Amino acid sequence: MPFVILLLIFLTLPYSYALEPGVKTIGLGNAYNAVADDNSAIELNPGGMSQVKHYEIDVNYLFSDYSRQWRFSVLDSVSSPLAMGLSFSQISFKDVAQHSAFGELGVSSLTRSQKITIAIGSGSDYFFAGVNASYQKIKETPGDYFWTFSAGAIIKPVSQLLNLSFTIYNFATAGADNHSVKQKWSAGAASFVQYILASFEWSKIENSDDLWSIGIEGYLPQQIVLRSGYFRGKRAHEEGWGAGFSWRVQQIALNYSFQKRYSDKLNSISLSIFLF
């Protein structure tokens, strides 16, 4: 029921295209898909949503040298057998031509836009899978919008100690002929041992180079988490690193991450509320 109410609210809003969903993603240097244990899974790996055993509401603000983005999301994995996620985001670019990461995501000629993503997922103790659909609206061009569809899965072959993931983005599109939307494939692994989480991710963008990233999280007393990551591709602008932290007090978490790229710096801050 909470998910249905929020869906009705979201459908009254304009729609958007999001560039970098998730403060944890940025802090881990993009090595996120095998982790996928918060609201970012809605867009990045819907197969991970069933791992989250509570309601989660997240408000995220990302800013960089060239862009600004607001994102609001809700994840419900307890009220029905299916995990359901919903995110709304709005992004604007100061200078699209200078934003190197923009073309890598496969959308050209976009300066301001909005996106709404709906995702569903399901899983057992050892296998999780999900799909999402995103409706993206270009604000500068009346009537210019398109759909993209993505899917992801997580396998846990060794109890809860190891996650293996595979994700395909934009495996189907509609109305995207004018935006050069590219497919992207991603595979990753994550392992949690005592108070340390280590993750790795490899990705391939259609007609582009391979990218890989590694990340690590350390869990400290007082509900504090520190994270860092590094990513690299063949081209100079595809190299960088990230760092961040989370601080949780009861059912509220404050998160901050920073990422330095060759030609850009990203800062992301979010406030998450957990409802059990």
Q: What are the structural domain ranges in the chain?
A: 2-275
The more confidently predicted of residues 92 and 56 is 56
Q: Which residues of 243-270 are buried (b: 16+ CB within 10 A; e: fewer)?
A: bbbbeeeeeebebbbbbebeebebbbbb
Pairwise CA distance, residues 118 & 111, whole Å = 23
Tokens of 152: 């992801």
Residue 237 CB-density burial (10 A; 0-12 exposed, 13-18 middle, 19+ buried)? middle
How confident is the model at residue 276, as a pLDDT?
56
Cα Dmax for the chain: 52
Cα distances (Å, whole numbers) of residue 49 to 31, 33, 56, 131, 153: 17, 11, 11, 10, 10
Overall average pLDDT of the 202-207 stretch: 89
pLDDT at 219 over 90: yes
Give strand pairing partners of 137.
114, 145
95, pLDDT greater than 80: no
| Amino acid, res. 79 | S
SS3 state at 27: helix
Percent of the chain with pLDDT over 70: 79
Contact 84, 120 (CB under 8 A): yes
Q: What is the mean pLDDT of the chain?
A: 82
2-275: CATH architecture: Beta Barrel (2.40)
The listed range with the strongest mean pLDDT (89-103, 197-211, 236-250) is 197-211
What pLDDT was estimated at residue 30? 92
Q: Mean of the pLDDT values across residues 233-259?
A: 86
pLDDT band at 184; cut points 50, 70, 90? very high
Q: What angle do CA 77, 130, 228 make, to 5 degrees?
A: 80
pLDDT at 90 over 70: yes
Of 5-14, 36-45, 195-204, the one with minimum mean pLDDT is: 5-14
Residue 103: CB partners within 8 Å, gap ≥ 6? none
Per-residue pLDDT for 231 more than 90? Answer: yes
